[in-house]
Structure 1
């Protein structure tokens, strides 16, 4: 049996195969197809002559989510929120990336204001229903977003991290009216206090879902590995395809996290607990600090200045100085 690992970076796609019988390691490197990243993945598998029934483990790390966020290449996202909270993404948490700059401009929200609609409902700070959700306002809100051509809808209602009943009611209506539209509920994506951070995280998940969902589905169909494909979680663990395609934010630091774990493995073997890892790809150079054998972890990734994404992640700093970078004086 074979164990297979695939990493798709911004420049190269790398496939490594470990043969459990012979203890031999082999690898294949291909160029990444940025428009269709699975193409390089499948080409590497073909070049290696992999047979699905001979694969015991299939692990995939990717920068797909990171790149589509950075490049703003995700879906048109609508946001449904509680009446009175339409401008949460614009107001933010009051921070500025550059406090004293007169020219600094806040980054555009991933769900622009014209794609944010409100519904009548209210849940209090204890999770009790104060005002039942109005179905008519849900139907109206969904129709407004569908008329504007959204592909994905984020639902983030006030205090719903304590009680997701109203968000699930909104999801049911969306399924009735437009089953093809992707839905992300804040009570599932990020059920934690702080309205702005929860809304931002849910919207970014909705922004990434259509592209990632299709990508994961195509890989599953093309490879049809009996045990399925597992994906590298930003925090260093692994998640199955079913979770990866519903919650793509968990993959935002997927590729860099795998590099850090490789550095930790070497440190453990050499008996060196305190390490600075450096992972140079073709596009970026990623650095992480490992203290006492444990990589530093953060619970929030700032995808752009003042735009938070709450998901557990290995604390990696990336700069655009990979092997394929062009420098000039």
Structure 2
């Protein structure tokens, strides 16, 4: 038996498929512990034989929520000496040109946890300044003192020559401060030019990786051993948990991507290849254009932070089935982003 599970802010949806057909049902989500509703639905629903589960494909907002709610890991950033403020300087783009008081999203890594490594490569990847391991010993001591859960490493031109980034990871791991999977290297996450976008994406990876890994471990411990767990990626594909643990930021649009792929598949079966998908949840609504195939893009922003990953082109608005309508001070009708109590109803 195959199972598809999508966890939303209000409902957790289940689809079970075997030789007899499809079974579809819902449960209220458990925002305090998203895995709870999923495990309960798969293991404790009448007429479902948990031991018959062979493959589970799961769409989740764990990575997205960790970023939007700023509840990711306590992590640091290591840059080439002189580039400590890379995440704070960013680009000079002005998405809201006429805003009198623009609000710049704060980086997910505070400046106190941004460190420098004495090294330098040139634009061909050749070494100009060798990596100074003695200087980096002091950085490791600072990382240990700060009790960081993860570290992102983004050095200039490391996409051409990863030697120094790899040396940094080796020193951190050999010192016992962090395990290898808690050190995210830009040469692995995004090996391409444009250091700000590369640093931002690597920082997001380090920020969500511990949370995603813990979530996946919780699911694997409670689900049947016979069932292989796959996670939806932002590009509409699915990957095994061992891959997602090293590419956690690719879960950023996991749930919405599954909706687009599913809608396009059904439309094709009905004879349509050019569609607009509309996925209305309790909290938000996702829209995507499929002009013959799902549309991809190479970059997205999460709470104003650039994230260069391959993703489906999905637009989201903060209004869904549970959104509250109101009249604002100017007499205009507004819907969302506030919603009814949804998955956690209570008096009052």
TM over 0.5: yes
Contact 2:278 2:285 in 1 (8 A): yes
The Cα RMSD (Å) is 1.5
Structure 2 residue 223 is the aligned partner of structure 1 residue 226: no
CA 1:51 to 1:120, structure 2 compared with 1: closer, same or farther past 3 Å? Answer: farther
Which residue is equivalent to 1:10? 9
Structure 2 residue 40 is the aligned partner of structure 1 residue 43: yes
Equivalenced residue count is 324
2:84 paired residue among 83, 86, 94: 86
Structure 2 residue 97 is the aligned partner of structure 1 residue 99: yes
Which residue is equivalent to 2:123? 125
Contact 1:52 1:226 in 2 (8 A): no
**Unmatched tracts of structure 1, length 5 or more:** none
Contact 2:118 2:132 in 1 (8 A): yes
Name the SS for the 1:272 alignment partner. Answer: coil
Which residue is equivalent to 2:25? 28
Contact 1:152 1:210 in 2 (8 A): yes
Contact 2:236 2:311 in 1 (8 A): yes
Q: Supply the distance in 2 between the matched residues of 1:216 and 1:131 (Cα, whole angstroms).
A: 41
Q: What is the correspondence of 1:310-321 to structure 2 with a 5 Å cutoff?
A: 310-321=308-319
Q: What is the correspondence of 1:177-216 to structure 2 with a 5 Å cutoff?
A: 177=175, 178-180=177-179, 182-216=182-216
Which residue is equivalent to 1:176? 174
Contact 2:67 2:303 in 1 (8 A): no
Comparing 42-51 with 61-70, which one deviates more in the overlay?
42-51
Which residue is equivalent to 2:296? 297
Shift of 1:198: 0.1
Shift of 1:51: 4.5
Q: Supply the distance in 2 between the matched residues of 1:75 and 1:144 (Cα, whole angstroms).
A: 17
Task: Give TM-score scaled by structure 2 length.
Answer: 0.89
Q: Supply the distance in 1 between the matched residues of 2:281 and 2:184 (Cα, whole angstroms).
A: 32
Q: Supply the distance in 2 between the matched residues of 1:127 and 1:53 (Cα, whole angstroms).
A: 53
Q: Supply the distance in 2 between the matched residues of 1:136 and 1:262 (Cα, whole angstroms).
A: 53
**Unmatched tracts of structure 2, length 5 or more:** 328-348
Contact 2:51 2:224 in 1 (8 A): no
Structure 2 residue 265 is the aligned partner of structure 1 residue 265: yes
Shift of 1:165: 1.3
Contact 2:299 2:306 in 1 (8 A): yes
Contact 2:43 2:50 in 1 (8 A): no
2:152 paired residue among 138, 151, 154: 154
Contact 1:81 1:119 in 2 (8 A): yes
Name the SS for the 1:133 alignment partner. Answer: coil
Contact 1:52 1:225 in 2 (8 A): no
Contact 1:28 1:48 in 2 (8 A): no
Task: Give TM-score scaled by structure 1 length.
Answer: 0.94
Shift of 1:146: 2.4
Q: Supply the distance in 2 between the matched residues of 1:145 and 1:97 (Cα, whole angstroms).
A: 35
